[in-house]
Amino acid sequence: MNLLECREITKRFGALEALRRFSFTLGKGEILGLIGPNGSGKTTLFNVLAGIYRPDEGEVVFQGLSISGMAPHRICRRGMAKASQMIRPFQEMSVLENLLVPGMYGGRLGFKQAREQASKILNLVGLEGLNDVPSREISLSQRRQLELGRVLMTGAELLLLDEIMAGLNPTEVEGAIRLLLRIREEGKTMILVEHVMQAVMKISERIVVLNHGEKIAEGRPEEVAQNPEVIQAYLGRPYA
């Protein structure tokens, strides 16, 4: 059974169709890349999946249950969480405290359990030793790692990662790629919206391409990179 299915999703804002009859499936443990030009519908899709927007048509099925119209906190509790490009940690809280909040919110974990889980996740994302450092004092790449850690603290099985490599230098991008592969080894499934093609092509098992709210291509990275319609709409040239 697929972990996630989007069935003919359409989302309108007035006369604008941000998504038009969009469908795809996602298997457990898969890393799926979602690419396309700005305004193609990628963020709208993430907001539909996370429950921020309700689709006007179609259905989202997660773990065999329709979640269309379900509240975001209920979707998160079912095991899907979103990491945003716009990082908003609690500035006055320490790195550790920032992880405790999503772990304890709603009574999911007690303090002792949350602290133990946070320590494990700090090691996983490479922030060990920074427990007591205020989040306002850490670097951009470390804030990206912290955002991933906060999403992992929800216990989510499916991670929606929205441009988490934005602003990183090439060395930091390589570190982020290694981190995502480590997270996948923990049994997580990921959808990656990203403009850093080096990362998308390297870690995605499959790529879906959106343009003007419609899916124009889907396949393995090497297939998508040579697709004439994708080259014209987004890449500009074949990606080697």
Tell me: pLDDT of 140 over 70.
yes
Q: What CATH number is associated with residue 221? A: 3.40.50.300
pLDDT at 107 (0 to 100) = 58
User: Quick one: CA torsion of 58, 62, 67, 68, rounded to 10 degrees?
Assistant: -20
Task: Say which amino acid occupies 1.
Answer: M
Tell me: pLDDT of 163 over 80.
yes
Q: 36 is in which domain, residue-wise?
A: 1-71+191-240
Q: Is residue 134 part of a domain?
A: no
Q: Is residue 214 part of a domain?
A: yes
Q: Is residue 132 part of a domain?
A: no
* β-strand partners of 210: 215
pLDDT at 109 (0 to 100) = 80
- Mean of per-residue pLDDT scores for the chain: 93
Q: Is residue 32 part of a domain?
A: yes
What mean pLDDT do residues 55-74 have? 95
Q: Is residue 233 part of a domain?
A: yes
Question: What is d(CA 33, CA 93) in angstroms, rounded to the nearest whole number?
Answer: 33
pLDDT at 239 (0 to 100) = 65
Q: Is residue 165 part of a domain?
A: no
Tell me: pLDDT of 138 over 90.
yes
What mean pLDDT do residues 11-29 have? 96
pLDDT at 45 (0 to 100) = 96
Tell me: pLDDT of 40 over 90.
yes
Name the domain count of the chain.
1
Q: Is residue 120 part of a domain?
A: no
Instruction: Using pLDDT thresholds of 50, 70 and 90, give the confidence band for residue 85.
Output: confident
Tokens of 58: 């179609």
Q: Are 124 and 152 in contact (CB under 8 A)?
A: yes
Tokens of 80: 């899907």
Q: Is residue 57 part of a domain?
A: yes
Instruction: Using pLDDT thresholds of 50, 70 and 90, give the confidence band for residue 1.
Output: confident
Q: Give percent of the chain above pLDDT 70.
A: 98
